Amino acid sequence: MLRLSLYTGVDQVAGYEGKRYALLLGPVVLACVGPMDAQSTAVLPVPAEDPAAWLVPKPGAPLTYGVKGAPLHEFRPLWTVNDGQPFTTYPILADK
């Protein structure tokens, strides 16, 4: 079951307060891999609701999803992220 978990830490990104979420598939935290901005996070143009509506399963890659409207980003299990590959576990879901 896919679900979002709101980030409530102290290092909020100005202008995006309350819009950072972790994506979980059951107990597994999925990393958002792709280009990051100056605040070392990703800003995705998706709503912070029903991740199944904006995730696209990647054929042949278990637990890996593309993001509708953000072709340079994908979600995958944290243990599959390669050294030096930019990722975040709390991207911004901006729905813009």
Which residue segment(s) compose the domain that 25 sits in? 2-93
pLDDT at residue 96, as a whole number: 64
Q: Rounded to an integer, what distance in angstroms lies between the CA atom of residue 66 and that of residue 64?
A: 7
Q: Rounded to an integer, what distance in angstroms lies between the CA atom of residue 37 and that of residue 29?
A: 21
pLDDT at residue 70, as a whole number: 95
Average pLDDT, the chain: 94
pLDDT at residue 11, as a whole number: 87
The reported pTM is 0.92
| pLDDT at 71 > cutoff 70 | yes
Q: What confidence tens digit (pLDDT) does each residue in 25-46 have?
A: 999 999 999 999 867 889 999 9
Q: What confidence tens digit (pLDDT) does each residue in 76-93 have?
A: 999 999 988 999 999 999
Average pLDDT in the 57-85 region?
A: 95
Q: How many structural domains compose the chain? A: 1
| pLDDT at 51 > cutoff 90 | yes
